Amino acid sequence: MVGQWQVGGGALLATGISDPLKFYMKDVKIGLYPYQFDESRGLWPNSYALFAPVKLRNDRTSIPPATFTHIKLLTSEAKLLEHSVVFRCKAMGQSKDQGKVEYLREEGFPLPLRYLVDDALREKLQDALLLCDSTAFHLRGALRRIGFYLYTANPDDTGWDTAGINPRAPKKIGDLARADIDNWVRHTEAGIYFWSAMDAPFQEFIIRLADEDSDEAANWWRRQVRVAAKGAFGKAREYAHESERAYRAVIEGEGYLTYQLNQMLGKEAKI
């Protein structure tokens, strides 16, 4: 266990030696590199990759900090720590662009030790967090539909194949129009709102999933995802303002989002 350490510039690790406190990614082409924070969301959506090596998209594999591996050994082999113990993980890091530091960040969340030793539990956590990725993807698709019906002159006669909008239409949307719509979607910051809205629920969910009936915890999590997605959409729709064209655009986007949420999360219970 590390009780105290000091970090300073001017000293490089020898080739082949990785920092035991860093979270790495391993790429089949470029090798090992430190994980960097994403400006639009926290570290927790990828927390399942912190607890054990995980194969990710684009031929990457997560390499957890060596301290996590050490804690796992203390729990599963040395039996010096109980599975029920909950530590708190604190991550500090930065994001760079061509060597220039863009921002620094500190983030923390609970770490029930069961996640280090229970493969099935980690898979359930991964499934729950990937559900957020899918929801964010479809939220963006819903907002693209608002932008499409807002800013396309003849939307019924125009298609956007990659967005799944009117794929059979004879005319296709141009590159400039696509860029304008995507700029509008970014301007709404709906994605940032969605991920921020899920921060607090995650702090609770990661403990509930380890302690409670997993189905009950998963159902609770799906409800939080739906609330966050609808809240983000509601904030973003304000950027459409009010007009007959905007009314239709919002209806198209909302219908798409509702359908996708029902497909992923099940239909919302009526009270």
Read off the pLDDT band of 8 (50, 70, 90).
low
User: What digits encode the pLDDT tens for the residues 131-143?
Assistant: 999 999 999 999 9
What average pLDDT does this structure show over 153-181? Answer: 95
CA dist 217 and 42 (Å) reads: 21
pLDDT at position 15 is 66
What average pLDDT does this structure show over 185-203? Answer: 97
Question: What predicted TM-score, i.e. pTM, was given to this entire model?
Answer: 0.89
- pLDDT > 80? residue 24: yes
User: What digits encode the pLDDT tens for the residues 58-81?
Assistant: 889 999 999 999 999 999 999 999
CA dist 106 and 96 (Å) reads: 15
Helix (H, G, I), strand (E, B) or coil at 270: coil
Read off the pLDDT band of 270 (50, 70, 90).
low
Alpha-carbon Rg for the chain in angstroms: 22
What average pLDDT does this structure show over 10-21? Answer: 72
Domains and CATH numbers, the chain: 24-117 (no CATH), 122-265 (1.10.132.100)
pLDDT at position 173 is 96
Which contiguous run of DSSP H or E holds residue 92? strand 86-97
What average pLDDT does this structure show over 121-150? Answer: 97
